[in-house]
Amino acid sequence: MGSSRAIVVTDLRKTYRTPFQRKKVEALRGVTFEVERGHIFGFVGPNGAGKTTTIRTLMGLIRPTSGSAELLGAPIPSRAARAKVGFLPESPYFYDYLTVTELCDLAGRLFGMPAPARAARAKLLIERVGLGDARNQNLKKYSKGMLQRAGLAQALMNDPELVVLDEPMSGLDPIGRKEVRDLILELRDQGKTVFFSTHILSDVEAITDRVAIIARGQLQAAGTPSELVAKTVLGVDVAVRLPAQVDAAELTAGADRVRRVGDELSLVLPGDTDVDAWLVRAHGAGAKVISVAPRHETLESLFLREVAGAQRGSGGADNGGPERSKAENT
Ligand SMILES: Nc1ncnc2c1ncn2[C@@H]1O[C@H](COP(=O)(O)OP(=O)(O)OP(=O)(O)O)[C@@H](O)[C@H]1O
Ligand SMILES: [Mg+2]
């Protein structure tokens, strides 16, 4: 288990066959990625993209149609590896009549922890997720955010090396989301690997080391958040001071949003412009530079573009994705 990769996924495919409708759903269509140990990895995609299918496959809950995966150096399914993984399922179904203390105790039992260790660990984690005051309440009295935090506490009972969280921020308000983000950062500081899915881009932009974008069962893009953003400089905003009598035609050719007011010229150069060469020409024409600012794509716009591309590219393949919608307001 000395691999430097916490997760390796190779050409994973999953086709669901629904028994009554004679319909096949290609949920994963050749997904390949790796997660380095010690990283926070964000797995981003819209509803029906294949996030949960990937995660359930990794956790050994469903069998892939083809392809392979490794968790902590061991091919799935591996009991030994699973014992070192903490897992928060997408819609944690908890027994209403349990308390969070009992829920954590149950998780600890599944991992074979002795009773005193279970009690001590549960107490610590329940405090950590901010449920100390509610530890003796039945889970049925919990709000959605509290349930999510209870789910996080039980996922950490076995002090996992790798934490796999399916939509850990879903249903949380901005403060709750920030708390989960802080918890994820704290786990990384403790040397753990965190893999989490989301469709909330600001969450991955803020805390992840790497991001993969999935849509319609295929990865659309992967990299560090800044790599993904830098991949496409949309254009360069330039402003120069140029004597009013100088003809600017040579400088404005091919540019967008050209404005000339008095001796000030502002424009947007296309993303692939050689900006240095343009500035040399501008200087030659007697211009003085006021500002040069690349317009970067945000992850949000990249996501929308990649997802739109995947939808166009799918050529109408029948993949029940978008039809299934979830009433989530995030
Ligand atoms: N058990 C199942 N039987 C049939 N089809 C399924 C099953 N589970 C998922 N699917 C389909 O597989 C595709 C991928 O679903 P999946 O749940 O993996 O997406 P997701 O990215 O987790 O979406 P969400 O953001 O809504 O949680 C969808 O088209 C979904 O309808
Ligand atoms: Mg899901």
The residue assigned the tokens 């096949």 is 24
**Closest protein CA for atom 11 of ligand 1:** 27
**CATH number for the domain harbouring residue 281:** 3.30.70
Q: Specify the DSSP class assigned to residue 297.
A: P
**Closest protein CA for atom 8 of ligand 1:** 53
pLDDT digits (tens, 9 = 90+) for 259-314: 999 999 999 999 888 999 999 999 999 999 999 998 877 777 777 777 777 666 55
Residue 326 in any domain: the answer is no
pLDDT digits (tens, 9 = 90+) for 240-263: 999 988 999 999 999 999 999 999
Residue 226 pLDDT greater than 60, yes or no: yes
- Please give the average per-residue pLDDT across 106-116, as a whole number: 94
Q: How many of the other CB atoms lie within 10 Å of CB of 246?
A: 14
Domain that holds residue 144: 5-229
Residue 307 in any domain: the answer is no
Domains of the chain: total = 2
Q: What pLDDT shows up at residue 319? A: 40
Please indicate, yes or no, whether residues 50 and 125 belong to a single structural domain of this protein: yes
Please indicate, yes or no, whether residues 73 and 115 belong to a single structural domain of this protein: yes
Dihedral of the alpha carbons of 57, 60, 63, 69, in degrees to the nearest 10 = 60
Q: How many of the other CB atoms lie within 10 Å of CB of 188?
A: 17
Q: Which atom of ligand 1 is nearest to the CA of 324?
A: 31
The residue assigned the tokens 């850990």 is 168
Please indicate, yes or no, whether residues 45 and 150 belong to a single structural domain of this protein: yes
R_g of the chain, CA atoms, integer Å: 25
> What is the enclosing helix (H) or strand (E) of 249?
helix 249-252
Please indicate, yes or no, whether residues 247 and 162 belong to a single structural domain of this protein: no
Chain CA centroid to CA 121, Å: 28
Ligand closest to Cα of 165 equals 2
Residue 77 in any domain: the answer is yes
Residue 304 in any domain: the answer is no
pLDDT digits (tens, 9 = 90+) for 125-148: 999 999 999 999 999 998 888 888
Give pTM, 2 decimals: 0.80
**Closest protein CA for atom 6 of ligand 1:** 16
Cα(73) to centroid(ligand 1), Å: 27
Residue 312 in any domain: the answer is no
User: In the structure, what pLDDT confidence band is assigned to residue 7 with cuts at 50, 70 and 90?
Assistant: very high
